Amino acid sequence: MKTHWMDRSATDVAAAVRARNVSPVEVVEAALERIEDRNPTLNAFVHVCADRALSEAHALAKRIARNEDVGPLAGVPFGVKDLEDVGGLPTTYGSAVFANHVATSDSAQVTRLRAAGGIVVGKTNTPEFGYTGFTHNRLFGTTRNPWNPERTPGGSSGGSAAAVAGRMVPLATASDGGGSVRIPACYVGAFDMKPTFGRIPIGPEEALGMQRWVDTVHYGPITRSVADGALLIDVAAGYHPSDPNSLPRPSVSYRDALEHPLAPLRIAFSLDPGYGRVQADVADAVRNAVEEFRKMDHRVEEVRLELPDLGRAWAFMCGAENWAEIVDRVKGREAELGRGFWTGLEVARTLTLHDQGEFQRQRTELNSKLAAFFSRYDLLLTPTLPTEAFAARGPLPGEVDGVALESPIHAVAFAYPFNMSGHPAATIRAGFTRAGLPAGLQLVAERHRDELVLQAARAFERVRPMTEWP
């Protein structure tokens, strides 16, 4: 039986297109076919630009016929999270207030992916303004997990995760302000990478038009393989004038670095960040995954992290910035916003300068602890999330194995610390829970050691390939 092109990796698709083994038109048609078949169940895509994608595929085919270099993503269809601009397509932020907003230009990341030969096939669903860890909004409804449509694919990049795990596209863009790439990738059993803060430029954000002051948001890919994630970062990384926090282009190719053997590493493994709990079968899957690194002759030590809990600081800082971004743009239409979303922002707006100072002191403490930690260890392994995927329409879990969480934010206890610190972090499938849902293994390294995270993830993938998909 012939393999469907959307069951293949982005790397394989692009290589086949460049080698003229398949036309980019055939590849895009395969993606559109899958979207038509599976999106009614999963609700991953909220806008599909079929005619435009096919037109770009035909244009690419003509360039190939002229022997032009069509780039490392030649003909690869991809989805773009609906918080990010694609010129000529809606950017709604999952909000009824912006239902009619159409972007006039591409974001920096989308510009680079398209220049590398990638073809946008549509926009993927997100909770309103990416606010929560499951994907539901008033405008487009609920996005569902391909492993079990009664469960969530997580958020806020849930549409991108469902599109990739549902094999509608090989890759999709995502963003992570407190776990929003790692949460959905974990819950659908995919790979993701939240690079060092600033590695991939953010924006410009046309409709909001405000320079961010909270430095927690990272752009990163969701893919079905480590190589595809490294390839996207290679294409998208590097300084862009729209983002003063963006870093210079790396001097090495992350995709090439995957082929380099790993030297023996000092690895710390933790099921306890100092707060929170982990579902028993998730912990079992993660422990089992960590054993693979011992078998590779790395030195692995189980530790208790005892990090300061910055959950409240994260929620207030990000909520206050989000309020400032949109308050003038939603004036008079607040009733059209999700009640929980707007209530949360109204609380966060009470943040004072005294609070801000205290939160930044907590961040300094976190940074000091992580600096000391990474002076002793090369890599940190944790569960990506404490639980398996929960109900598609939420809410976030309030308990783990029958024991109440001390704070709602502890449902993502291992995610937000590394947004507050800016460290690179990835998730890869560790195994499955008793319910047959994916559990995730998180890999974290010192800032600017993105290649180490990717190399370690690839080493794990070699012994635990992600071949099973829903």
User: Where in the sequence numbering do the catalytic residues fall?
Assistant: 81, 156, 180
Task: Report the alpha-carbon distance of residue 117 to residue 77 in Å, rounded.
Answer: 9
At 271, the amino acid letter reads: L
Question: Using an 8 Å Cβ cutoff, are 384 and 425 in contact?
Answer: no
Cis peptide before 204 (omega within 30 of 0): yes
Contact present, 208 and 199 (Cβ < 8 Å)? no
Burial of 349 (0-12, 13-18, 19+ CB in 10 A): middle
State the DSSP string of 143-180.
Answer: --BTTBTTB---SSSHHHHHHHHTTS-SEEEEEESSST
Nearest to 427 by CA among 440, 446, 416: 440
Are residues 212 and 202 in contact, defined by beta-carbon separation less than 8 angstroms? yes
Tokens of 386: 């404490």
Rounded Cα–Cα distance for residues 434 and 380 (Å): 26
Question: Residue 37, class by beta-carbon neighbours within 10 Å (0-12 exposed, 13-18 middle, 19+ buried)?
Answer: exposed
Residue pair 43/152 in contact by the 8 Å Cβ criterion: no
**C-alpha–C-alpha distance, residues 50 and 413, integer Å:** 39
